[in-house]
Amino acid sequence: MTPAPGRTDDGGSGRPGADDREEASLSRLLVEDEPLSRVAARVAQAARQTVPGVDEASVTLVEDDRARTVAFTGELAVHLDERQYDRGFGPCLDASRSGRLVQVRDTADETRYPDFARQAVRAGVTRSISVGLPVPGRAVGGLNLYARSGTGFDEEALAETHAFAAEAAVVLANAALLARTAEQVQQLRQAMASRSVIEQAKGMVMAARGCSEDEAFAELGQLSRRTNRKLRDVAQEVVDGRGRTV
């Protein structure tokens, strides 16, 4: 088998060389403030380099019961993933939901996932592994490995997959937590900015109309509803002198 791009052929064994293993070290994958998609891409690349016999890899994340491929090493992988999402069924989804390893030893003889098997055969994939990426109390998603030759994965490959997935789950969970935290911080900043603008607009309405704070807020609310715009946008126009204060 021709080695996949970025892999080292170790005497024809198909196993990555020492340099590849060093590059694939998951301890280097999580970088502060780095986007989740980039961390996932490194996980997919490292999986392809680490597990013997793998040609393409992808990472599935499940958020709010919706699965999506956040990283892949080739179009073949993402195509097979998305076919499963469309159908709502397949080894990738089963592994993601259960946290277990699901192996398709031979796509030509696979009966549990007939639609996936047909698509895999057409794409030239002969075998696959999908393994859940669990952390305590939740399933993060799944790691999907595809091979274009041979049938089944030997014990060494399965052991490598289990070990890699356990470490990758922690890396991706941490990256997802950082991403959610950053999003929440941004939302909080936006909320604080909106409140500040609304408070300024209320003060301007109070000064212009000689009314109370509650009456000024009601005036802004009425204008928001009447013009079918967000309260913050109405308030910003008042502050900028472009909106009505009476």
Q: Which residue has the tokens 């499963």?
A: 84
> Could you give all domains of the chain from N- to C-terminal order, each with its CATH number?
18-182 (3.30.450.40), 184-239 (1.10.10.10)
**198 vs 235: CA distance, rounded Å:** 5
pLDDT band at 57 (very low <50, low <70, confident <90, very high): very high
**17 vs 190: CA distance, rounded Å:** 49
Tens-place pLDDT, residues 92-116: 999 998 889 999 999 999 999 999 9
> Letter for the amino acid at 165?
A
Task: State the pLDDT at residue 228.
Answer: 86
Tokens representing 67 are: 């699965």
SS3 230: coil
SS3 62: strand
Tokens representing 192 are: 């604080």
SS3 17: coil
Backbone φ and ψ for 102, nearest 5 degrees, come out as -120, 120
pLDDT band at 185 (very low <50, low <70, confident <90, very high): low
**184 vs 164: CA distance, rounded Å:** 30
**179 vs 32: CA distance, rounded Å:** 10
Residue 6 gets which letter from DSSP? Answer: T
Q: What is the mean pLDDT of the chain?
A: 80
What is the CA 172 to chain-centroid distance, rounded? 9
Task: State the pLDDT at residue 246.
Answer: 44
User: pTM to 2 decimals?
Assistant: 0.64
pLDDT band at 7 (very low <50, low <70, confident <90, very high): very low
Most confident of 36-45, 131-140, 234-243: 36-45
Tokens representing 78 are: 């993402």
Give which of 67, 65, 48, 44 is closest to 7, Cα–Cα: 48
Task: State the pLDDT at residue 117.
Answer: 96
Task: State the pLDDT at residue 33.
Answer: 60
